Structure 1
Amino acid sequence: MKGLVYREFYLMRKNFALTLAVFLGFLFMISLVFISTYAGNLAKDEENNQMIASFYPQAYLYTGAMALLGFSAAQNGVVYDDYKSRWRLYTYTLPVDEKKMASSMLVSRIILLVVGFLFAVVGEVVLGFAAKKGVSLEHIKNLAVMAAIVSVTFITLPSALRHKEVSKTITTYIAYGIIPFAALVFGIVKFIIYCIKEAEVRYPYLKGEEAIRKVSEPYQEKLVEIAAIAAPFIIVGSLVLCYFRTVKELERRRY
């Protein structure tokens, strides 16, 4: 199985390098913006300083999401390339059963998720020092919760095996996800409207964004607490579902 895991990483090296380059580039630009607020042009503009200060609490989430999603998705391209190169057909002759093959693919995905989390933590450390805020353990906890949520994307692995093409996989997810996504957007919009109304009543002396943030913070903290409790169950559930579905797709022996 070690050889199969090595093969996965060897084939995804280009995707890995591209994701790393984009992540580091984005992190570098955001760090420069924060540094500019006290050692550059933005230091003279108080309005910009306030805007950047309000952006800082979310910046680590953007870099974290880029690292986690980018590295986790790097393996999908290998699956599609395997069909084009007829590797999947060749595997039917190997003295390795589908369970070991599924395990090797899943181990690769787990390693990618861990790597993505480590880079997300690096992003938090770099941004914290760039903004002179230091490292926040609360932010790292939130990144761990995000990693658990991203583990749900493991299910894209058996889907890629089933559909063989990127376009078919994307179309399938759009078809199944459009209703939940619409419900999520509707819920977010309703919550924002609620926060705006509450902010006008509770904090009429504060500016719009700051007042809305004060109203929404308790709900966000409660959501993170619930997600932290659910995180282990999400990870285990995603792993189990992904493993059995991957084995099933490999056993179909379709080409």
Structure 2
Amino acid sequence: MTFPVRIGVQIQPQHADYSAIRDAARRVEDLGVDVLFNWDHFFPLSGDPDGLHFECWSMLAAWAEQTERVEIGALVTCNSYRNPELLADMARTIDHISARGDAPGRLILGIGAGWFERDYAEYGYEFGTAGSRITDLAEALPRIRSRWAALNPAPTRDIPILIGGSGPRRTLRLVAEHADVWHSFGDADALRERSAILAGHAEAVGRPVGEIERSIDVRRRPSEVGQELLDAGATLFTVESSGPDYDLDLAAEWVAWRDASTRG
């Protein structure tokens, strides 16, 4: 399967009033970005740890109504924070809210095992261990799909599942079994190394690895890393932007690079 080159922007919901976040979401769509992400945390991850911050899924519902074209999702939802059946219903509902006319919904269900201990401690979730959180994610993913099949109305499309993380033994196995998109971090060499491991897992579960889109976090200019990441297999490139100002200059460079790559 051949995937188009796409650009994502993660609007980090920290250190900004919601009016600034709303404006950033508008600017992202106007820029021509393909996917608009937030994140699923309860406190800032950088800067003042007690700074302004807003909740993920309430925001996604607002974005589903506000935007017209861009796909939306969390990068990524923490599996620990919501019952899988509830999460499936939330995703299905936002899928419907984001649909326009004859076009289907635009939600991507980004999900991961969770890692930020403060979220767990202050909101009363059991932190467990890295292993137990991966086990919980493995149990949740089939439950989410089963709930989608049972809901009335059903989702408007097969909601894509994005799994974030590069753990070679268990996380990439879950990607091979369940994901439409795999999101990772690092350089081209790391992407190639982990992609080879993913290919092994896909072969083991009897799935063509080419069905899985590669997504990667990018913090440098496309003139510096774009082609080598593309050659390594990435097709979805996501830029981070934090409050209060939500600078989109780097995202604009990646959109221009995407358009030039498509023309080429």
> Would the TM-score normalized by the shorter structure come out above 0.5?
no
Comparing both chains, which one has the higher relative contact order based on Cα–Cα distances under 8 Å and sequence gaps of 6 or more? 1
TM value normalised by structure 2: 0.27
CA radius of gyration, larger in: 1
Q: Which has the higher strand share?
A: 2
Q: Which has the higher helix share?
A: 1
TM value normalised by structure 1: 0.28
